[in-house]
A and B are shown apart, each in its own frame.
Chain A
Amino acid sequence: MSQPTGTERSDDETRGPLSNWVDSAIKNPKKVYRAMFYVVVIFFLFTTLFPLYWLTMIALSNSNRVSEGVGLLPAGFDPSSFVEIFQQIPLHLYLFNSFVFATLTTIFVLIVASLAGYAFGRLEFRGKRTLLLTVLIISFFPPAAFFIPLFQLFTQQIAFLGLTPPELYSTPGGVVVPLSAIFMPLAIFILTTFYSQIPDGLEDAARIEGTTRLGALFRVIIPLSAPGVATAGILTFIAVYNEFFFSFLMTGTAAQDWAPIVDGIISYQSQFQVRYDLMAAASIVAVVPVAILVVVAQEKIVSGLTSGALKE
């Protein structure tokens, strides 16, 4: 060991691959970091994916044999549950409704929160802290605290400042409007944080070039904060798609009444005898569209537009 060059070769032959690896690792610690890194990667892949793999195995099981227990392989291979879920209810319509809610809310929240985030992040004005704190405090309340007055308003039982809005219950508005308000605080805080980190010089340069105030926001600040905007957008979209409370209570239970995926999944639990394989299959079908969205959108988050010379 004390004379490495002379003895290394014979060590290789006598001590096996593991101790060789340990030897080289001691000389080159980077190798250890790399190995540890891959162990962590595999660990996270396993913990996040295994439950979903197992759910797929339940969906592929034979409906009569599910209750025997499902392990690494399905209990009796039978993929027909993926067809049956669509025969029982129009699952695709429930999915469509959820997508409409999530898309509309995300667009609305991103526009409104961008304007607010710019004001909070880059402008000085009186009452800034108070207003920012108001935004934060709104998110302290459980959704149930908003529910009864909004439900009465949306079913036209009461008026708001003397105005009665059109009946929003069982329309996209009935879900999009409250969820926009509920998820807006998070978007405002994310965008405020990211916008405030853009150096002033870049915005000033654009203004000197003749860009309007609003133009500076949309052509300079927002593009430079692309990871932040994409993150806020994805978080909002997914949060709406996943939302439980308003989606469930502000619509009827049929797909024609704009019921979202929550109602679709629940109807497998209530309508028929307990069919775990159908519940699992419907869950997987509901997850696939969001998964595709995640694949597409995650590129945006890490596009690294703000890295390099743009940062001070």
Chain B
Amino acid sequence: MATEQRQQQQGWNPVSRVLNWMEQLSEEAYAYLLLAPAFLVLFTIALWPLWRTFRVSLFADNLFGAAKTGEFVGLQNYIEVLTNQNPLLSRPLIDLTGGTPFFRQALLVTLAFAVISVVFETLIGFGQAYIMSKEYRGRRWVRVAIILPWAIPIVIQGMLFFLLFNPSVGFLSDPLQAIGLFGSNPLTSSTNAFVIVTVADIWKTSAFMALLILAGMQSIDKSLYDVAEVAGASPWQRFRHITLPLIFPALMVAMLFRTIDAMRIYGIIEASGAGCGTVPSLSCLVVDTMFGVTQAYASAATIAFITASIIALVIGGYLVVLKLSPEGSYQ
């Protein structure tokens, strides 16, 4: 009776009328309705600008006129950038002739950074998530301490590492120099600055992995562990056969987005004072070409699309691995 009454009332109220209408939709129509707001935002704010940027990349650079682009050149910008024949780039994207040091080639720097930082962040993230998930006194504050670096704005993270390795204020550059690992001014050497930027990133971003892994761990039914313990499983076995398979989806999302983020590394390079000339990541190259001395929009747009394509290749690799793996039931 109560439900009948409610249904009658629903006829009057416009909100209920909308809800009622939703009940009538097929599953597919309902799904599209729920996706509409997200895709409206993504279309306007992401796809539309990308389309405009892509169009720019098909035109020649016009450095001196009022218009930023010249005549239509098709894919020529892409060929020039990939074969290191574009004189407007501050550093080559990749130089196959071997004339450029490893850490001065944008693609190699970016890939090296992504692999090293994601591997360490995943391992450390696991460790951090594990100690955040256990029960003990003061756990709350341990959690806060672990998440804290992730909450620190990039400008401040950059300044912190700038100061740590600053030869006058910081205390890290002297001992590292004494044992011969670093030069006298580490932030100006490409290899040293690469290490500093990588360490800074691992310091800050491991917590991101830890949070996602922890959220996955929290969703695991605790009684599974009790059963395993009774059955005599060691902590390692419990981790391998319960934790790992069950957090696999969350772990994959975390690693996927960490890899994408690492391949777009930019902020910390500028903020730490290393600068895009010293550690030329792909995003650095885009920003340098777009806003630097040259202001070559077409070349910058080209590098942006090449960057996205390279990321697409890497992520494609991930998705293939995910599909082939036994735990890859996700999606």
A residues adjacent to B (C-beta < 8 A): 33, 37, 40-41, 44-45, 47-49, 51-52, 54-55, 58, 66-71, 111-113, 115-116, 118-120, 123-126, 128-129, 131-132, 134-150, 153, 160, 177-178, 180-182, 184-186, 188-190, 193-194, 197, 210, 212-215, 227-228, 230-231, 234-235, 238, 241-245, 261-262, 265-266, 276, 279-280, 283, 286-287, 290-291, 293-295, 298-299, 301-302, 304, 306-308, 311
Nearest chain-A residue to B171 (Cβ)? A71
Nearest chain-A residue to B57 (Cβ)? A145
Cβ B41 vs Cβ A145 within 8 A: no
Q: Which residues of B139-156 are within 8 A (CB) of A?
A: 140, 142-156
Q: Which of B38, B144, B260 has the most CB of A within 10 A?
A: B38
Q: Which of A146, A214, A241, A291 has the most CB of B within 10 A?
A: A146
A266 to B159, CA, bound (A): 10
Q: What are 5 A-B contacts defined by CB distance under 8 Å? A: A142-B264, A142-B283, A146-B49, A148-B290, A307-B222
User: What are the residues of chain A within 8 A of B145 when measuring CB–CB?
Assistant: 44-45, 48-49
Q: Which residues of B207-222 are within 8 A (CB) of A?
A: 207-208, 211-212, 214-215, 218-222
Say which one of B26-34, B77-85, B86-94 lies at the interface with A: B26-34
A250 to B219, CA, bound (A): 39
CB distance from B294 to the nearest CB of A (A): 14
Cβ B163 vs Cβ A55 within 8 A: yes
A21 to B310, CA, bound (A): 54
Cβ A178 vs Cβ B45 within 8 A: yes
Partner of A184, one of B38, B250, B287: B38
CB distance from A281 to the nearest CB of B (A): 11
Q: Which 3 A-B pairs have the closest CB atoms?
A: A181-B45, A244-B267, A145-B304
Cβ A125 vs Cβ B144 within 8 A: no
Interface string of B244-281 (1 = CB under 8 A from A): 00000110010011001000101100110000000000
Say which one of B58-66, B96-104, B125-133, B185-193 lies at the interface with A: B125-133
Q: Which of B19, B42, B220, B256 has the most CB of A within 10 A?
A: B42
Partner of B304, one of A118, A144, A178, A182: A144
Partner of B131, one of A41, A128, A180, A306: A41
B residues adjacent to A (C-beta < 8 A): 3, 6, 19, 22-23, 27-28, 30-32, 34-35, 37-39, 41-42, 44-50, 52-53, 56, 127-128, 131-134, 140, 142-156, 159-160, 163-164, 168-171, 203, 207-208, 211-212, 214-215, 218-223, 235, 249-250, 253, 256-257, 260, 264, 266-267, 270-271, 282-283, 286-287, 290, 297, 300-301, 304-305, 307-308, 311-312, 315, 330-331
Nearest chain-B residue to A231 (Cβ)? B215
A182 to B260, CA, bound (A): 12
A288 to B138, CA, bound (A): 20
Cβ A70 vs Cβ B218 within 8 A: no
CB distance from A126 to the nearest CB of B (A): 7
Cβ B49 vs Cβ A136 within 8 A: no
Partner of A144, one of B153, B160, B300: B300
